[in-house]
Amino acid sequence: MTVYSGAGIVPVICGLDHLVVLIDDLAVGAKAYELLLGRAPAWRSRSDGSEAVLFTLDNMTLELMAPAGNSPTAERIRNVMRIWGEGLASICFRVDDIAKMHRRLDRVALKPDPVAEVESRDLGSDATLHWKRTRSPTDLTRGVRMFFLELAQARPHSAAISPAPILGLDLVVISTEDPERAAALYGARLGLDMALDRSHQDWGRLMFFRCGDLIVEVVKRPVAGGDQTHDKLWGLSWRVADIDASRARLVAAGVGVSEVRAGRKPGTRVMSVRDGTCGVHTLVLERAGRA
């Protein structure tokens, strides 16, 4: 078995900055994630062709994005949702030095776009955020829309509005049909440290890559027949301090959830969220001693 790991490489990526979920109705999606996360939106913005709501947690931001108006950008978003439906659309890694990241992407043949400077204005407070970003073409990132961002200042945090809220993200799951090439992308080329590479007859092949204090999980499921050249952002696992209290809160809010069960990793307990996630496969996880 060939292992591709970023171990020994000076890290350029320091964490997961945000994930984008495309939705048709921003108000409906924002309300759904207020219930799921137990937190209020921290930022609302509008740009040419899109509008967005951001939930910023302890270790990342979830951006809900919807088309607005009839511009080419809005039509592109609608076309993506016509093909794929609502759900996870892109991943953005946080970096400390965008110029250094750009050079690395160029050296490993990921052909980054020129670095762009971006500003966002909050519709409620009129505050502004600034960042620099680049991206690599999706045909070089195995079909996953992938961005890299250096943020000028910290984002406002999403305030808890319910008991037992979500604390942060535990892992993001990427599904692949070619684990060797996917591992080479996330480990050798992006420089993420491989923490686990294990196969199981029921789960398939699981590879964990450390990204800040969370995990990028790349999984090859036992059932074959998918696209060998295109991976897919598949799902999220959210971290909580008390899963029983979180489940009680969600049930009381009318969100469909499973019973709590033992997780695959010893010392964890999980539950599945069955609705109210805008098409995102979702788990909630409690890790013993983590809170």
pLDDT tens digits along 126-178:
999 999 999 999 999 999 999 999 999 999 999 999 999 999 999 999 999 99
The Cα–Cα gap between 185 and 229 comes to 12
Q: Are 92 and 233 in contact (CB under 8 A)?
A: no
Kindly report the pTM of this predicted structure: 0.93
Residue ranges, comma separated, of all CATH 3.10.180.10 domains in the chain are: 13-151, 168-287
| 168-287 CATH choice from 3.30.1330.10, 3.10.180.10, 1.10.3720.10, 3.40.50.20 | 3.10.180.10
| 13-151 CATH choice from 3.40.190.100, 2.30.30.50, 3.10.50.40, 3.10.180.10 | 3.10.180.10
The Cα–Cα gap between 169 and 233 comes to 15
291 pLDDT band, cuts 50/70/90, is very low
Residue type, 227: D
From the list 176, 163, 186, 172, the residue with the least C-alpha distance to 6 is: 186
The Cα–Cα gap between 134 and 183 comes to 22
